[in-house]
Amino acid sequence: MTVPDKQINCPVFIALAKQVQRSRMHTNLRLSLRMFKNTLLKALEAAGTRIRSFDESDFQISNKEGINNLVTEVDHAAEEVIITTIKENFPDHQILSEECGELVQDSQYKWIIDPIDGTVNFAHRIPICCVSIGLEHEGKMILGGIFNPFINELFLAERGKGATLNDKPIAVSKKASVESACLVTGFPYTYLDEPNGPLEVFDRFIRRGVPVRRLGSAAIDLAWVACGRFDGFFEHKLQAWDSAAGFLLVEEAGGKVTQMNGDAYSPYKPGIIATNSIIHNELVQWVKGNIPQQS
């Protein structure tokens, strides 16, 4: 709507014009979101198909820094199809991807990609691994998708719109205490020998009989907190591509995600605690070493 010159000062027309502009921006954002989501789905599916195409064949495995920090030719192949899919649709968007690194461009959008999260599992043909892709807009995660092509589980989250597993809405668990919770964690490839390190924290739970699983894929750990299979997850050292998509899944499923000390989550900070939100503060205290007296 344009306001004719002589009416330009009329407050009613000015307010109306602003309303129209806002609604256009809204429509544009909705349309873009739909396009982003289509691209996300296409990329997840293409990468899943590429990963499964190696089911019957051998693949090359090499070592990155650290011991048993593996990368396979399949990680590279999956990454290639993901980046090609994104570039075909949004050539100006930024990309941060585990094996290729960072493509910095003048855009408010950044795709954060882990082509295979759980590479050690994948290299051993353990079907606990996934493709993880998140989309950040002006520093906020707005879309996240995690796909395990071996069991066909597709987790999706959109900011403000909730989270789904294979199109069905998901929610975090309702467990009310750490002692009754089922937790999951992960360990870095190079051990962090520091006070309150991964084994020290793990030890704390195991001694008190709290089950702590270790799946080997941080993205799946987060997705499984989002759908209530786990009540909480903690890990000392992750990268943005491990947690970006999973973070949004947990938040959109009603959970809470912070750094290990309870500060606001950032994909660019190493530590993470993700829970059903009910046990969050208690779990932060356990991780810090402030555990309740045994009853």
Q: Please identify which residue in 90, 96, 113, 114 interacts with Ca ion, judged by CB under 5 A.
A: 114
- In this complex, which beta carbon is closest to Ca ion, that of residue 79 or of residue 282? 79
Minimum distance between the CB of residue 221 and ligand IPD, rounded to whole angstroms?
Answer: 7
- In this complex, which beta carbon is closest to Ca ion, that of residue 119 or of residue 185? 119
Q: Please identify which residue in 216, 228, 246, 255 interacts with ligand IPD, judged by CB under 6 A.
A: 216
Distance CA 268, CA 238 (A): 9
Residue 141: count other Cβ atoms within 10 Å of its Cβ. 25
Q: Among all chains, which residue has been given the structure tokens 């982003």?
A: 36
Q: Is 198 in the site for ligand IPD (CB under 6 A)?
A: no
Q: Indicate the residue type of 161.
A: K
Distance CA 48, CA 35 (A): 20
Cβ pair 203, 228 in contact under 8 A: no
Strands 153-158 and 101-103: unpaired
Q: Which does 262 bind (CB under 5 to 8 A by kind): Ca ion, ligand IPD, none?
A: none
Q: Please identify which residue in 39, 97, 217, 275 interacts with ligand IPD, judged by CB under 6 A.
A: 217
Q: Indicate the residue type of 81.
A: V
Minimum distance between the CB of residue 30 and ligand IPD, rounded to whole angstroms?
Answer: 33
For residue 39, the SS3 value is helix
Distance CA 292, CA 288 (A): 12
- In this complex, which beta carbon is closest to Ca ion, that of residue 76 or of residue 204? 76
Binding window for Ca ion (CB under 5 A); candidates: 106-114, 153-161, 207-215, 265-273: 106-114
Q: Is 258 in the site for ligand IPD (CB under 6 A)?
A: no
Q: Is 117 in the site for Ca ion (CB under 5 A)?
A: yes
Minimum distance between the CB of residue 30 and Ca ion, rounded to whole angstroms?
Answer: 31
What strand order describes the sheet that includes 94-97? Answer: 101-103, 94-97, 109-117, 130-137, 140-148, 153-158, 162-165, 168-169
Q: Which residues bind ligand IPD (CB under 6 A)?
A: 114, 117-119, 186-188, 216-218, 235, 238, 242
Q: Which residues bind Ca ion (CB under 5 A)?
A: 98, 114, 116-117, 119, 242
